[in-house]
Amino acid sequence: MLFTPSPLLIDTLRQRRKKLSYLIDFPALLWSGCAVSRNFPANIYSFRASSHFLYFAGFPLENAAIRLDQGRLELFMDDPPEGSTLWHGEMPQRNQIAEFIGADAHYSLKELSNYLQDAATIVVQDPITASEQRQLLNCPLVSASEPKGIDLELTNAIITLRLIHDEVALNELRQAAEVSVEAHKAGIKATKTAQLEAQIRAAMEGVIISHNMTCSYNSIVTVQGEVLHNNHYHHPLKTGDLLLADVGAETEMGWAADITRTWPVSGTFSSTQRDIYQVVLKAHDICIDSIRPGIEYEDIHRMAATVIAEGLVELGILNGSPEDLVEQDAHALFFPHGIGHLLGLDVHDMEDLGDLAGYEPGRVRSQRFGWCFLRLNRPLQPGMLVTIEPGFYQVPAILNNSENREKYQKQVNWERLEQFADVRGIRIEDDILVTEKGTEILTKNLPTSIEEIEALIQQ
């Protein structure tokens, strides 16, 4: 972690807390959290500060808290313990850190107990800090997804701010996207010589590590693309397989990217793989082209579902009109998840808050097959960053389900489908910023077309 004072960062942090002060009239206390032990106390998982803390404090300070009140920032943390220089080197002192982040005052953690009054908070993820929060504030904070009273007010105010990215955030998000693009290129190029999924993963994560970033989530690099959150990497790469890679970087300040590409191990898509890929790519392109301020994200999802249904009708896999098929949820047999989600400091931005950020107030998740996994349901506004990630999967648990077989007897041409057995999972995912004029594709430097991807593999 390089702590470098930046006037732009300090000014941005000031703007953020000023905006917060317009939205709430009580102090907010945000904790960063502490590192979590892996198998013994000194062997920790790489520390990740709470995203809400990061948004206002800028730096991933460990075991710190900030109090935001009427535009003021007060920092609470202890100086490094004596003797820690031997193990951890010279660390900046609290007063230096306070300067770097533009704090108005700074105190030891012990002092925190004098600054609790009337303060709202959001519960952090690590259970130890969460328990400290509960104890200090003497309240039964259940989880960040079910805030009450002023905690709910604070949560809604922070959502309002974090939904719309400022220039400092966008600068970080563009860097994360850029490095993720390079990671995917490295993965695609490694295919020629790799024997195992793990080797492709290594090529991709190597790029992220070499840029001093971390993975914003556990990578998916699999020939079993139909397993949506597959975190195994032991399969051999076989000619005829499609490889699905969902890998993204996160900057040191915590800002995330999220990209998926799917490509053939052999270097060449089979004709069936090509057919389905083109359907998914068409959905991807149309969705991105349709994004503009004011459009409902749910409509983008419906658009993807319709384009996929239409493509599958053209391929003889589905029967009927695309609109009817979507009405009957038949698309969800092959595209069961949502078209995407918010992206920011979290790869599913603010998912710690349940659906409070993802869903416009008053809206609740549908229970319907294919709609229940839609993580975002809001009208899009300039400054929002979202993913667009249509897919096609042959999930045995869905397609072999006897109820589905019965229900979609007429809609699906099961015999025809068998001819597409070499298409287990395809997803194409990019990161799209909503702008006043339409969109900026942060991940545009990574090709999506069959020709360009095949060329990259064969390079």
- Residues near a second copy, by CB under 8 A: 1-2, 36-46, 48, 50-51, 85-90, 125-128, 131, 196, 198-199, 201-203, 205-212, 217-218, 224, 226-234, 254, 336, 345-348, 350-352, 395-398
Q: In terms of CB distance, is 53 or 420 closer to a second copy?
A: 53
Q: How far is the CB of 449 from a second copy (least distance, A)?
A: 28
CA distance 43 to 57: 26
Nearer to a second copy, 77 or 130 (CB): 130
Rounded to an integer, what distance in angstroms lies between the CA atom of residue 311 and that of residue 95?
A: 61
- Which is closer to a second copy, CB of 106 or CB of 427? 427
- What is the distance between the alpha carbons of residues 240 and 71, in angstroms, rounded to a whole number? 59
Tally of CA atoms within 13 A in the half-sphere of 366 that contains its CB: 15
Count of H helices and E strands in the chain? 15, 17
Q: Which is nearer to a second copy, 397 or 455 (CB)?
A: 397
Q: 183 or 288, CB closer to a second copy?
A: 183
Q: Write down the least CB distance from residue 13 to a second copy, Å.
A: 19
450-458 and 167-190 are packed helices; what angle lies between their axes, rounded to 10 degrees?
Answer: 60
Q: How far is the CB of 51 from a second copy (least distance, A)?
A: 5
> Do the beta carbons of residue 155 and residue 123 sit within 8 Å?
no
Q: Based on CB atoms, which residue is closest to a second copy, 106 or 184?
A: 184
* Beta carbon nearer to a second copy, 47 or 115: 47
SS3 73: strand
Q: How far is the CB of 120 from a second copy (least distance, A)?
A: 20
Q: Which is nearer to a second copy, 74 or 349 (CB)?
A: 349
Based on C-alpha coordinates, what's the Rg of the chain?
24
Measured in whole angstroms, the distance separating CA 23 from the mean position of its chain's CA atoms is 26
First vs last C-alpha separation in the chain:
36
Of 206 and 267, the one with the shorter C-beta distance to a second copy is 206
Q: Please, what is the minimum distance in Å from the beta carbon of residue 205 to a second copy?
A: 6
Paired with 387 in beta bridges are 431
- Give the strand pairing for 43-44 and 65-69: unpaired
Quickly tell me which residue has 């200090």 as its tokens: 136
DSSP output for 36-101:
-EEEETTEEPPP---HHHHHHH-S--SS-EEEEETTEEEEE-PPPPTTHHHHH-----HHHHHHHT
CB of 213 to a second copy, least distance (A): 9
Q: What residues contact residue 203 under an 8 Å CB cut-off, 6+ apart? A: 186, 187, 189, 190, 194
DSSP 3-state assignment of 50?
A: coil
Q: Shortest Cβ distance from residue 70 to a second copy (Å)? A: 28
Running DSSP on this structure, what letter comes out for residue 79? P
Whether residue 182 contacts residue 175, with contact meaning beta carbons closer than 8 Å, is answered with no
Q: Which is nearer to a second copy, 347 or 434 (CB)?
A: 347
Output the smallest distance, CB 364 to a second copy, in A: 19
- Our CB check for a second copy shows the closer of 104 and 422 to be 422
- Alpha carbon distance 222, 181 (integer Å): 18
79: closest CA among 43, 116, 108, 50? 108
Q: How far is the CB of 106 from a second copy (least distance, A)?
A: 23
* Residue 242: its H or E element: strand 242-247
Q: How far is the CB of 370 from a second copy (least distance, A)?
A: 11
Residue 260 Cβ, how far from a second copy at the closest point, in Å?
15
Cα dist. 387→80, 90, 300, 440 in Å?
40, 40, 11, 12
Of residues 322 and 340, the one with the C-beta less far from a second copy: 340
Rounded to the nearest whole angstrom, what is the least distance from the CB of residue 395 to a second copy in the complex?
6
Alpha helices in 291-332 (DSSP H): 297-314, 322-327
Q: Which residue has 């935001």 as its token pair?
A: 68
CA distance 428 to 339: 10
